[in-house]
């Protein structure tokens, strides 16, 4: 009794805002990365890729005309989870922090007594290591076990994980049945390129590996739904399935996504299964946006949506469509259509080309570009006939509406952050173009070349990055050269070409490209670091030191950069400067093996064996297979007169060295 009272009080408090007497509603949000609407059986695909999603759709409201607001993973998820537009939340690219003053669905439901957990499929949505800082707000558990891919490491063991891993991790969390309702978010990254489904989907879809990834994700979701049913969690859950964006697959010349704003990358599947024992199927044709999802979820579970949320709940559409008169259904669709805004700054950030905005209203699609575009989607759903000249007054009206909408829904923001060298590396490991640029966010009229005139370069760069990521440097180099022949000023191509030569240990070939990269993006720590490494290896330690100092100035907390600068100082016999940098590296990361080893050795040489001892002991613990660590530690024991310990370490060093002999 004594123990029970405070607990009861806490439970009452926690559920105070939930609808009284109603069975608590669990929220399950499933986001499908890079998934085109036209691959879904429930959206009329005949390919048979999605039997499990189709059966869920038969008990759900299907939104047949749902649109993403940004064709990129992190920004689109920011819109889904905050219910705000990109011009308001300013998560316009990877690595941009989700501001703490934004409304955030997980945080809101947590404050109303929900248990909250996220299981994401890619480092792109990892708050800790680069892609999505701030996304863990409000989550009790944010499962993103990713790290930078080491040479020859499997991508599914480092930067992403398969759908079944996501499902199994989430089900393990559900094995400790929460006492309160829960909010569970699962993110499936599989359809994102490279398209590489696991067996048996790999063989079954050998000719269409992208479709194979979709079929595999559907299989994983089938396992999830079966598990939810067997645990009695299916009926009482609100289940939302949505894709963050589509995939161009060559339409309009685009290979993947991010560059353009056509339907192939913005029209996405969206279905909402309401809680209840016998949910009915409904198909709604009216155009809606992913910005509407968070307010919908909140309304369904009886939590008021914060005023800052810009989307509108979809439940009113559900109610009016459920009771609609089939005779007037067509006019209802148009009346209920919501105009859809979308944008991408990716062309600007990655290449210095123009950012794009789009506006879908009525039967028209308008794209605000240096060469604007207008399409009549009722006659030309593939957006192939640009009507901007023949219907110039329509285009002008659409342009004005777009500007007005952007003005009403935007808010100013502080300057964008500069990505750290570590973040840039991690994002590039996923095939993303990120120059680490600190260029301010594209303003309303940020105009460079029109991306549609340059799409081939974007495709080549994407291909080259994937090759470099797979350590196929010999294949990547001619691609980078081809890109730079067409446009010598793409900073990332210069950086990556230099980096590829560095990785092939042809350092003098790397230097000119890296010099150009530094010139184009002086704020890029990675560019300075790579140039510093190349110059050092060619014997120019003074030049190397200058570059590494610049890299550290841009990214002063990177232990790897601080270590590199320290070792460059050692090459120039600047011993006390070297010691300072090694110490700074260890202050930022006490487990940096090389900093422990090099500082320990340097202090030993400086006749400071007692200071060296703990560092070398640590180095041996961190990498017991390092012969050098044992050798230096043995030397220090010798100086300190601990001869038995010295003998053991030296024997171990000898043994490891012998093992390393071929």
Q: Provide the binding-site residues for Zn ion, judged by CB under 5 A.
A: 33, 73, 244
Q: Is 397 left (phi over 0), alpha (psi -120 to 50) or beta?
A: alpha
CB 162 within 8 A of CB 190: yes
Smallest gap, in angstroms, from Cβ of residue 244 to Zn ion? 4
3-state secondary structure 572-593: CCCHHHHHHHHHHHHHHCCCCH
Smallest gap, in angstroms, from Cβ of residue 85 to Zn ion? 17
Smallest gap, in angstroms, from Cβ of residue 192 to Zn ion? 6
Decide whether 187 or 312 has the Cβ nearer to Zn ion. Answer: 187
Decide whether 71 or 352 has the Cβ nearer to Zn ion. Answer: 71
Decide whether 73 or 84 has the Cβ nearer to Zn ion. Answer: 73
CA distances from 490 to 3, 233, 483 (A): 65, 51, 8
| Residues contacting 407, CB < 8 A, separation 6+ | none
Smallest gap, in angstroms, from Cβ of residue 74 to Zn ion? 8
Nearest to 442 by CA among 152, 31, 70, 68: 70
Smallest gap, in angstroms, from Cβ of residue 257 to Zn ion? 7
Euclidean distance between CA atoms 214 and 203, whole angstroms: 14
- Angle between helical axes of 609-622 and 593-605 (0-180°, round to 10): 150
Smallest gap, in angstroms, from Cβ of residue 77 to Zn ion? 8
Euclidean distance between CA atoms 640 and 13, whole angstroms: 63
Decide whether 78 or 578 has the Cβ nearer to Zn ion. Answer: 78
How far is residue 505 CA from its own chain's centroid? 31
Decide whether 244 or 416 has the Cβ nearer to Zn ion. Answer: 244
Decide whether 247 or 368 has the Cβ nearer to Zn ion. Answer: 247
Tokens in use for 468?
Answer: 């470099």
Decide whether 73 or 437 has the Cβ nearer to Zn ion. Answer: 73
Euclidean distance between CA atoms 24 and 235, whole angstroms: 11
Q: Centre a 10 Å sphere on the Cβ of residue 277 and count the other Cβ atoms it contains.
A: 7
Smallest gap, in angstroms, from Cβ of residue 331 to Zn ion? 35
Smallest gap, in angstroms, from Cβ of residue 189 to Zn ion? 8
| Residues contacting 111, CB < 8 A, separation 6+ | 138
Smallest gap, in angstroms, from Cβ of residue 243 to Zn ion? 8
DSSP 8-state symbol, 131: S
Nearest to 225 by CA among 395, 81, 467, 55: 55
**Residue listed under structure tokens 């009790």:** 140
Decide whether 73 or 426 has the Cβ nearer to Zn ion. Answer: 73
| Residues contacting 597, CB < 8 A, separation 6+ | 615, 616, 619, 626, 628, 629, 632
Smallest gap, in angstroms, from Cβ of residue 34 to Zn ion? 5
Decide whether 244 or 446 has the Cβ nearer to Zn ion. Answer: 244
Which residue's CB comes closest to Zn ion?
73
Tokens in use for 279?
Answer: 């949910």
Smallest gap, in angstroms, from Cβ of residue 610 to Zn ion? 54
288's enclosing H/E stretch is strand 282-289
Decide whether 191 or 275 has the Cβ nearer to Zn ion. Answer: 191
Q: What angle is formed at CA 154 by the lines to CA 148 and CA 155, rounded to 5 degrees? A: 55
Decide whether 76 or 296 has the Cβ nearer to Zn ion. Answer: 76
Tokens in use for 240?
Answer: 């939302």
Smallest gap, in angstroms, from Cβ of residue 32 to Zn ion? 9
Decide whether 32 or 514 has the Cβ nearer to Zn ion. Answer: 32
Euclidean distance between CA atoms 557 and 592, whole angstroms: 13
Which strand ranges, in their side-by-side order, compose the sheet holding 356-361? 340-344, 356-361, 364-368, 373-376
Nearest to 368 by CA among 403, 393, 340: 403
Decide whether 33 or 373 has the Cβ nearer to Zn ion. Answer: 33
Nearest to 527 by CA among 461, 432, 428: 428
Tokens in use for 2?
Answer: 């004594």
Smallest gap, in angstroms, from Cβ of residue 163 to Zn ion? 14
Smallest gap, in angstroms, from Cβ of residue 266 to Zn ion? 12
SS3 content of the chain, % helix, strand, coil (to 5): 50, 10, 40
Smallest gap, in angstroms, from Cβ of residue 245 to Zn ion? 5
Euclidean distance between CA atoms 464 and 470, whole angstroms: 10
3-state secondary structure 135-200: CCCCCCEEECCCCCCCCCCCHHHCCECCHHHHHHHHHHHHCCCCCCCEEEEEEECCCCCCCCCCCC
Smallest gap, in angstroms, from Cβ of residue 463 to Zn ion? 19
Decide whether 76 or 361 has the Cβ nearer to Zn ion. Answer: 76
126's enclosing H/E stretch is none
Smallest gap, in angstroms, from Cβ of residue 124 to Zn ion? 7
Decide whether 291 or 604 has the Cβ nearer to Zn ion. Answer: 291
Nearest to 164 by CA among 152, 155, 156: 156
Decide whether 375 or 432 has the Cβ nearer to Zn ion. Answer: 432
Euclidean distance between CA atoms 554 and 532, whole angstroms: 14
> What phi, psi does 275 have (nearest 5°)?
-70, 155
Euclidean distance between CA atoms 20 and 598, whole angstroms: 64
Decide whether 33 or 560 has the Cβ nearer to Zn ion. Answer: 33
């Amino acid at each position: 009794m004594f123990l029970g009272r405070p607990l009861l009080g806490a439970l009452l408090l926690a559920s105070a805002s939930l609808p009284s007497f109603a069975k608590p509603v669990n929220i399950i949000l499933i986001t499908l990365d890079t998934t085109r609407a036209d691959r879904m059986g429930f959206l009329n695909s005949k390919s048979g890729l999605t039997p499990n999603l189709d059966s869920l759709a038969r008990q759900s409201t299907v939104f047949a005309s749902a649109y993403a607001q940004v064709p990129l993973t992190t920004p689109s998820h920011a819109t889904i989870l905050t219910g705000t537009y990109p011009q308001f939340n300013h998560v316009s690219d990877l690595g941009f922090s989700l501001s703490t003053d934004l409304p955030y669905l997980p945080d809101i439901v947590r404050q109303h007594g929900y248990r909250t957990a996220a299981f994401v499929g890619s480092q792109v949505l990892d708050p800790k290591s680069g892609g999505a800082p701030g996304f863990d707000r409000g989550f009790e558990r944010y499962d993103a076990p990713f790290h930078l891919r080491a040479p020859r490491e499997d991508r599914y063991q480092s930067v992403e994980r398969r759908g079944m891993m996501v499902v199994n991790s989430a089900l393990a969390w559900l094995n400790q049945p929460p006492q309160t309702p829960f909010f569970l978010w699962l993110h499936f990254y599989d359809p994102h390129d490279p398209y590489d489904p696991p067996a048996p989907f790999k063989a079954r879809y050998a000719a269409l590996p992208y479709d194979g990834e979709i079929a595999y994700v559907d299989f994983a979701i089938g396992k999830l739904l079966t598990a939810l049913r067997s645990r009695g969690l299916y009926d009482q859950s609100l289940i939302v399935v949505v894709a963050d964006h589509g995939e161009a697959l060559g339409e309009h010349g685009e290979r993947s996504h991010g560059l353009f704003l056509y339907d192939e990358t913005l029209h996405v599947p969206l279905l909402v299964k309401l809680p209840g024992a016998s949910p009915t199927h409904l198909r709604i044709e009216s155009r809606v946006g992913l910005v509407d999802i968070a307010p919908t979820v909140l309304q369904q579970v009886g939590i008021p949506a914060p005023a800052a949320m810009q989307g509108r709940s979809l439940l009113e559409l559900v109610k009016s469509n459920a009771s609609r008169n089939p005779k007037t259904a067509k006019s209802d669709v148009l009346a209920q259509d919501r105009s859809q805004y979308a944008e991408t700054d990716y062309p600007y950030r990655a290449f210095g080309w123009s950012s794009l905005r789009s506006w879908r209203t009525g039967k028209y699609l308008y794209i605000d570009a240096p060469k604007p575009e207008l399409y009549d989607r009722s006659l030309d759903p593939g957006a192939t006939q640009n009507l901007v000249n023949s219907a110039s007054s329509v285009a002008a009206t659409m342009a004005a509406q777009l500007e007005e909408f952007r003005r009403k829904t935007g808010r100013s923001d502080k300057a964008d952050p500069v990505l750290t060298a570590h973040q840039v590396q991690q994002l590039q490991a996923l095939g993303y173009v990120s120059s680490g640029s600190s260029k301010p966010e594209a303003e309303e009229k940020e105009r460079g070349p029109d991306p549609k005139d340059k799409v081939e370069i974007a495709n080549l760069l994407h291909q080259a990055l994937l090759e470099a990521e797979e350590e196929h440097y010999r294949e990547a180099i001619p691609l980078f050269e081809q890109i730079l022949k067409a446009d010598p000023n793409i900073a990332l191509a210069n950086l990556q070409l230099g980096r590829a030569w560095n990785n092939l240990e042809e350092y003098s070939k790397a230097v000119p490209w890296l010099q150009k990269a530094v010139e184009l993006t002086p704020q890029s720590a990675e560019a300075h670091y790579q140039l510093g490494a190349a110059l050092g290896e060619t014997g120019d330690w003074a030049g190397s030191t200058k570059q590494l100092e610049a890299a550290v100035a841009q990214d002063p907390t990177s232990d790897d950069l601080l270590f590199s600068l320290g070792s460059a100082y050692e090459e120039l016999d600047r011993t006390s400067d070297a010691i300072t940098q090694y110490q700074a590296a260890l202050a930022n990361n006490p487990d940096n093996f090389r900093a422990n080893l090099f500082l320990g050795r340097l202090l030993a040489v400086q006749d400071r064996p007692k200071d060296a001892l703990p560092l070398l002991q640590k180095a041996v613990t961190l990498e017991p297979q390092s012969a050098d660590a044992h050798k230096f530690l043995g030397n220090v024991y010798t100086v300190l007169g601990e001869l038995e310990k010295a003998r053991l370490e030296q024997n171990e060093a000898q043994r490891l060295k012998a093992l390393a002999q071929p």
